[in-house]
Amino acid sequence: MSLTPSVSSSVDLRRIIDPDTYFDNNLPPTNLQWAHDEVARFVKSQAPDQRIVLVTSGGTTVPLENNTVRFVDNFSAGTRGSSSAEQFLALGYAVIFLHREQSLQPFNRHYSHSTQGMLSYLQRATDGSLRIKPEWEDKMGRDLDAYQKYTAQDKLLMVSFTTLSDYLFLLREVSLLVAGLGPQVMFYLAAAVSDFFIPSHSMSEHKIQSAEGDLTLRMNQVPKFLGPLVKNWAPLCFIVSFKLETDPQLLGSKARHALKKYGHQVVIANMLNTRKWQVWLFTREEIEPATIQIDQSDLAAGHDIEQDLVKELARRHQKYIKEAQVSHA
Ligand code: 9Z3
C-alpha cells in the first residue's frame, strides 16, 4: 500500500475541510448524545470550585472505506493519557477521560494489556476458589481501591472514540459543555490525532478491491481544531497541547509555532523514542522550555514521568486560576 498524502487544492474540498464546515459534512459518532448527557451530568455533580481536566488519550483511526474494512491508525498506546489521569485524580481533579476504545485506561492499564494476559494474575486456591497471586495482591488492591474510590465519588468519567471524526465531534461537544466553568478547567490533549484524512464523499463506499492493482491514497489535511478550540469553544480554559516529533531538529520550532499560532497556555513537546523519560514544557512567556526528565531506572521501578509533568501543570494551572480571579475582582 503506498501512502501519498497531499493537500487538495479543489475549492469544494477546501470548503469541506474548513473546521467550521467539517461537522456539517461528516457523521457524528453513535455515542455523541450519550456523551453529551453524561458530561453535562458529571459537570453538574461537581462542587462549584472543583478543578476539572479533559484528558484525551490514544490514537485516532482514519477509515479508507465508508463500509470500513481498512483504516490508517495513529501511534499511541494511551500510556501518557491513562497515567496522567491517575495523577490528576490523585491531585484532586475530576477527570473526563476521552480515550480510544481498547487503549490503556487509568488503573486498569497495569493489567489489561499484559503480554501474558489477564489470567497470569490469577491462581486457584486449595479450596477451589480463584485468587489473585500473592505477589500481585498489594498492587492490584491499591489500584482497585483507587479506581473504586474515584468512580464512587464521580470523579472519573470515561468517554471513548475510535475514528478521527468521532474524536473531533466528541472534543467539540465536551469543550462546549465545560467551557462555561472557565479557568478551572484544563484541557490535556495527549491523544495522537491524525493530520490526514479522506473526506467521506471521496472515500470508496465498499471494500477497496485488490484486483484493481496497487493502491495510491490521496488524503486531505485535517483542519486545525486547536484554533477554534482556543478561540471559540473554550477561550477561558487552561489548554495544554502535545507536540510529537521524530526529528529532534523540528521539535522546538514546531512547539513554539503552535503556541504562537493558537495562543494557548502550554505545549508539551516530546520525541517518540524518549517520550517516557523526557519532555519539554513550552509557554509563550518563557524563552527556554522547562525540561521534565526522570532516570530510566526510575521508570523501570514504576515512577512514571507523568507524576512530575502533571504536578508541574497543576501548579501552573493553580496560578492561572488565581490570576483569573484577581483580574476578575
Ligand atoms: C503526544 O505527543 C503523546 O505524548 C504521545 C503519547 C502520543 C506521544 P503514548 O500514548 O504516547 O504514551 O504511547 N500526543 C500528541 C500527538 C499529536 O497528535 N499531536 C499533534 C501534533 O503534534 C496535534 S496537537 O501536531
Which architecture does CATH list for 2-106+154-328?
Answer: 3-Layer(aba) Sandwich (3.40)
pLDDT tens digits, 151-196 = 999 999 999 999 999 999 999 999 999 999 999 999 999 999 999 9
Quote the CA–CA distance of 166 and 276 in Å, as a whole number. Answer: 27
Ligand 1 nearest-atom number relative to CA 83: 12
72 Rama class: left (phi>0) / alpha (psi -120 to 50) / beta: beta
- Asked if residue 243 has its Cβ within 6 Å of ligand 1, the reply is yes
In this predicted structure, the answer to whether residue 1 has a pLDDT above a threshold of 80 is no
- Asked if residue 244 has its Cβ within 6 Å of ligand 1, the reply is yes
DSSP-assigned states of every residue in 282-299: E-SS-SSPEEEE--HHHH
**Cα angle for residues 88, 231, 48 (degrees, 5° grid):** 40
Note whether 268 and 279 are within 8 A (CB). yes
DSSP-assigned states of every residue in 227-248: HHIIIIISTTSEEEEEEEES-H
With the CA atoms of 255, 260, 264 and 265 taken in that order, what torsion angle do they form, in degrees rounded to the nearest 10?
A: 60
Note whether 185 and 54 are within 8 A (CB). yes
User: pLDDT-based confidence at 134, cuts 50/70/90?
Assistant: very high
In this predicted structure, the answer to whether residue 2 has a pLDDT above a threshold of 70 is no
Ligand 1 nearest-atom number relative to CA 195: 25
Ligand 1 centre to CA of 235 (Å) is: 22
Residue 64 Cα distances to 8, 191, 217, angstroms: 17, 21, 9
Q: Which residues pair with 94 in a beta bridge?
A: 52
**Cα angle for residues 63, 67, 70 (degrees, 5° grid):** 40
pLDDT value of position 329: 79
Q: What is the mean pLDDT of residues 263-277?
A: 97
Residue 266 Cα distances to 164, 230, 283, angstroms: 23, 12, 5
Residue 2 Cα distances to 213, 214, 216, 217, angstroms: 11, 8, 5, 7
Nearest CA to ligand 1 atom 17: 192
Cell numbers at residue 22, please?
467539517
Quote the CA–CA distance of 23 and 61 in Å, as a whole number. Answer: 17
In the block, cell 503556541 appears at 259
Greatest Cα-to-Cα distance within the chain, rounded to the nearest angstrom: 72
User: pLDDT-based confidence at 17, cuts 50/70/90?
Assistant: low
Quote the CA–CA distance of 62 and 5 in Å, as a whole number. Answer: 13
In this predicted structure, the answer to whether residue 146 has a pLDDT above a threshold of 70 is yes
Q: How many CA atoms lie within 13 A of 191 on its CB side?
A: 32
Report the chain's terminal Cα–Cα distance, integer Å. Answer: 59
- Asked if residue 76 has its Cβ within 6 Å of ligand 1, the reply is yes
Note whether 205 and 68 are within 8 A (CB). no
pLDDT tens digits, 45-88 = 999 999 999 999 999 999 999 999 999 999 999 999 999 999 99
Which DSSP helix (H) or strand (E) runs through 320?
helix 305-328
Domain boundaries, the chain: 2-106+154-328
Q: What mean pLDDT is reported for the chain?
A: 93
User: pLDDT-based confidence at 322, cuts 50/70/90?
Assistant: very high
Residue of 104, 189, 243, 292 with the most ligand 1 atoms within 8 Å of its CB, for mutation: 243
pLDDT value of position 58: 98
Residue of 244, 264, 266 with the most ligand 1 atoms within 8 Å of its CB, for mutation: 244
- Name residues whose C-beta falls within 8 Å of residue 8's C-beta, 6 or more positions apart in sequence: 14, 17, 218, 220
The SS3 call for residue 48 is coil
ipTM of the complex: 0.96
* Percent of the chain topping pLDDT 90: 87
DSSP-assigned states of every residue in 145-200: HHHHHHHHTT-EEEEEE-BHHHHHHHHHHHHHHHGGGGGGEEEEE-SB--SEE--G
